[in-house]
């Protein structure tokens, strides 16, 4: 994946982008808008969720601009699967509809940002760069991983949702707790495997067990659960930075 860290330096690095929307005119408009910038390059376009999953695996873009409403599987489902399979891809959700509950669902699914389709070109470019740099954006808020998890937790409380996990949860093993801490810090399966000197398949197997035990659907929900229950502290996360 492209490292955007040198973006502001004298040798800017290109951010690769995949555009997913079922309207060709809108896709073409997005491509023209983002490619006005020297450091942004569109590597592909597609119109369906299934195609998005396939092209993402082939192209491994840094950023995906993803419509939330697609003709087959929706953007939330695409995001959840991509973040489980290709967690280094930053996903920016684009939608014509904006409501607090949908924003929460998108960010819980693993999106890096949630933007209206009438966003201006300078605003979109800024969000793309921020997402490629590992930040999360909702409206005017820019957050790191810990900030996002706190935002999700606060949003769940504000919307009056009940806790996602029954208090009588099945305790995780020491290894699963170790992996969960890395997940909360935002590490991918590949990065966790390297840290723990185990195979990616072993990490994947542990993740499957963690999600089942916590009765959650994805990594982000598992991380939020860990923070809400105090299993992982933000101080601990900071020390792993």
Enter the pTM of the model: 0.71
219 to each of 16, 18, 88, 111, 129, how far by Cα in Å?
24, 23, 13, 12, 23
User: 178 and 136 in one domain?
Assistant: no
In a domain, 25, yes or no: yes
In the chain, DSSP finds a helix count (H) and a strand count (E) of: 11, 7
Question: Highest mean pLDDT range out of 5-19, 57-71, 91-105, 167-181?
Answer: 57-71
In a domain, 168, yes or no: no
In a domain, 116, yes or no: yes
CA 79, CA 108: separation in Å to the nearest integer? 10
Give yes or no for a contact between 222 and 211, defined as CB atoms under 8 angstroms apart. yes
Last residue of a domain, one of 122, 143, 164: 143
Mean pLDDT score of the chain: 85
Q: Tell me: pLDDT of 96 over 90.
A: no
Q: Which CATH number belongs to the domain containing residue 188 in this structure? A: 1.10.10.10
- Domain enclosing residue 42, as ranges: 4-143
In a domain, 155, yes or no: no
Looking at residue 236, what is its pLDDT? Answer: 52
User: 180 and 61 in one domain?
Assistant: no
User: 126 and 15 in one domain?
Assistant: yes
145-200, pLDDT tens digit by residue? 989 999 998 888 887 765 443 443 446 788 888 899 899 888 889 999 999 999 99
The mean-pLDDT minimum among 3-12, 37-46, 99-108 falls in 3-12
209-222, pLDDT tens digit by residue? 999 888 888 898 89
Question: Highest mean pLDDT range out of 23-37, 162-176, 181-195, 226-240?
Answer: 23-37
Looking at residue 25, what is its pLDDT? Answer: 95
User: 27 and 129 in one domain?
Assistant: yes
Last residue of a domain, one of 124, 143, 162: 143
Please count the CA atoms within 13 angstroms of the CA of 28 that sit on its side-chain side.
Answer: 3
In a domain, 10, yes or no: yes
Which is more confident, 122 or 223?
A: 122
Q: Tell me: pLDDT of 72 over 60.
A: yes
In a domain, 137, yes or no: yes
Give yes or no for a contact between 94 and 68, defined as CB atoms under 8 angstroms apart. yes
Query: How many domains are contained in the chain?
Result: 2
User: 119 and 197 in one domain?
Assistant: no
User: 34 and 119 in one domain?
Assistant: yes
HEC profile for 122-174? HHHHHHHHHHHCCCEEECCEEECHHHHHHHHHHHHHHCCCCCCCCCCCCCCCH
């Amino acid at each position: 994946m492209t490292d955007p860290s040198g973006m502001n330096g004298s040798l800017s690095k290109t951010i690769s982008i995949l555009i997913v929307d079922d309207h060709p005119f809108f896709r073409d408009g997005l491509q023209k808008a983002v490619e006005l910038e020297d450091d942004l390059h569109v590597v592909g376009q597609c119109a369906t969720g299934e195609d998005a999953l396939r092209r993402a695996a082939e192209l491994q873009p840094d950023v995906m601009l993803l419509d939330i409403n697609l003709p087959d599987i929706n953007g939330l489902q695409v995001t959840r699967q991509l973040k489980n399979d290709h967690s280094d891809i930053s996903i920016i959700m684009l939608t014509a509809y904006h409501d607090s509950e949908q924003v929460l669902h998108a960010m819980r699914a693993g999106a890096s940002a949630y933007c209206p389709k009438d966003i201006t070109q300078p605003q979109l470019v800024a969000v793309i760069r921020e997402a490629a740099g590992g930040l999360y954006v909702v409206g005017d808020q820019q957050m790191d991983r810990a900030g996002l998890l706190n935002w999700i937790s606060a949003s769940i409380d504000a919307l009056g949702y009940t806790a996602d996990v029954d208090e009588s949860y099945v305790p995780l093993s020491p290894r699963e707790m170790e992996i969960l801490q890395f997940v909360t810090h935002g590490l991918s399966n590949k990065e966790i495997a390297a840290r723990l000197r185990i195979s990616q398949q072993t990490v994947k197997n542990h993740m499957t067990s963690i999600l089942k035990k916590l009765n959650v659907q994805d990594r982000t929900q598992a991380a939020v659960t860990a923070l809400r229950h105090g299993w992982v502290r933000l101080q601990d996360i900071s020390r792993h930075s």
